[in-house]
Homo-oligomer: A and B are copies of this chain.
């Protein structure tokens, strides 16, 4: 290690992301830097797009990763799909739905909010009521709400969007690569994710996919896209066959993303979803057997991010501080309305593992005990093991 590096501790990352990454992904980060227009590198970019199409389950030509974090993907989707005055129905049932609302307002779209209780999914009946009232260009919602741990069922909403001819803009930040996302079957027009959660790469890139009609709509806007950096008609000219310089694509991040996508390809998507589900069930069984409660009702629980209610009288910050200090273990606190009320425990990508489930249960039980809060660790571990088939 260089001599004057600051403290750079080795954590066990089990929060909402970033998560631990596979050694092969670390190795890929040291691939020699290469020019963004080098013919060899352009092949790498093509391969990234191809593997992302597989993960998004789409044939969309415009499928790649915007040069920024997941929030850059959100902004790319919102800023390209929405012009001033465009009617958009934004479902807000958590922190990230609200972030979409804020971005849509900055685009001066005509925003209608469909709010609901944090910890529950959006109700298709209420969406239908709104769609009956007036004409919308876009419905925007979150597939896997990172702030609440809710997985939004999509089939009924997808059916409604098709029936009413409304575009869908979907946040799949905490689902893509860990839970099934079916961009084509659901008729998604714009969807975004991030590199550092279920995909298993470091932060810095945002996988996105746009339907052909979304690209066409962006090309035919009345008002220019306000973001030059995230204008998909310009990005398309670089990612696509024209290869027109737009930004200096980070080969470092894209080599790492490619390696992570290859690991997904080797594991197989269905196996990967099963692994995420199995470890999630084990964690839930353990948490509940220890006497704690989950925030979300069973049918809507997100397998990749588990929201555990903080027991009455337990100090959120002290518990997380203890876990970090004694076990180098990071879990997430609550965001927005859920601050101080839940912990967010990520089991995503490489970090969705049996050892992480058991390590979390043991560490949490100890941290609670220090706070004077008893939990039944033995039952917790037993229940988790049973779910794991051990």
Task: Tell me the nearest residue of chain B to A34, going by C-beta.
Answer: B11
A112 within 8 A of B: no
A247 within 8 A of B: yes
B17 lies within 8 A of A72 (CB)? no
Q: A8-B40, A29-B252, A71-B246 are in contact. List 17 more A-B contacts (CB 8 A).
A: A2-B27, A4-B262, A5-B259, A8-B34, A9-B40, A11-B34, A11-B38, A18-B35, A19-B33, A20-B32, A71-B228, A71-B248, A74-B229, A75-B228, A106-B225, A202-B251, A204-B204
B67 lies within 8 A of A68 (CB)? yes
Q: Is the interface of A mostly helix, strand, loop or mixed?
A: loop
A227 within 8 A of B: yes
A224 within 8 A of B: yes
Q: Which residues of B contact A189 (CB under 8 A)?
A: none
A345 within 8 A of B: no
Q: Which residues of B contact A44 (CB under 8 A)?
A: 6-8
Chain A: residues with Cβ within 8 Å of the partner, total of: 79
Task: Tell me the nearest residue of chain B to A48, going by C-beta.
Answer: B6
A106 lies within 8 A of B228 (CB)? yes
Partner of A258, one of B6, B30, B43: B6
Residue interface mask A53-96, B partner, CB < 8 A = 1: 00000000000000111111011000100000000000000000
